Amino acid sequence: MSHSIDILWDKSHSAEIMAEGINVRFAGELQRFIRGRVDEGLGLYGSASEYIRDLVRRDYEREERHKWQMLRDELKPGVTADESAFVALEADKVIAQAKARRKSSRK
């Protein structure tokens, strides 16, 4: 016997918030494990859907922390570099060079 879980998925990246239903089925040991998390009086969650939403949110937050850490790691050499390692640039020249590269790549 499988267990059906309906999940509300929040697409917060769109201008308009839309909900999409997702049906997930669990059987066997996974089903028993989930039921153990939501059993009346014993479980931490009010429903299987609440439990799954919490798991997805935690995974999403973990992924976001990972992305920020990757960005910090990427920027660290520049932040900790000695001032002598920096090269002075003029914005107008950088923009002109970029426009020239773009123009030559179109040919």
Please give the structure tokens belonging to residue 73: 């790691």
Q: Give CA–CA dist 33/51, Å, rounded.
A: 11
Report the first-to-last Cα separation within the chain, whole angstroms. 63
Is pLDDT of 2 > 60? Answer: no
Is pLDDT of 26 > 80? Answer: yes
The answer to whether the pTM exceeds 0.85 is no
What's the Cα-to-Cα distance from 102 to each of 87, 89, 90, 91, 94, rounded to whole Å? 23, 19, 19, 16, 12
Domain ranges of the chain: 3-106
Is pLDDT of 34 > 70? Answer: yes
Mean pLDDT of 75-103: 92
Instruction: Identify the DSSP state of 3.
Output: E
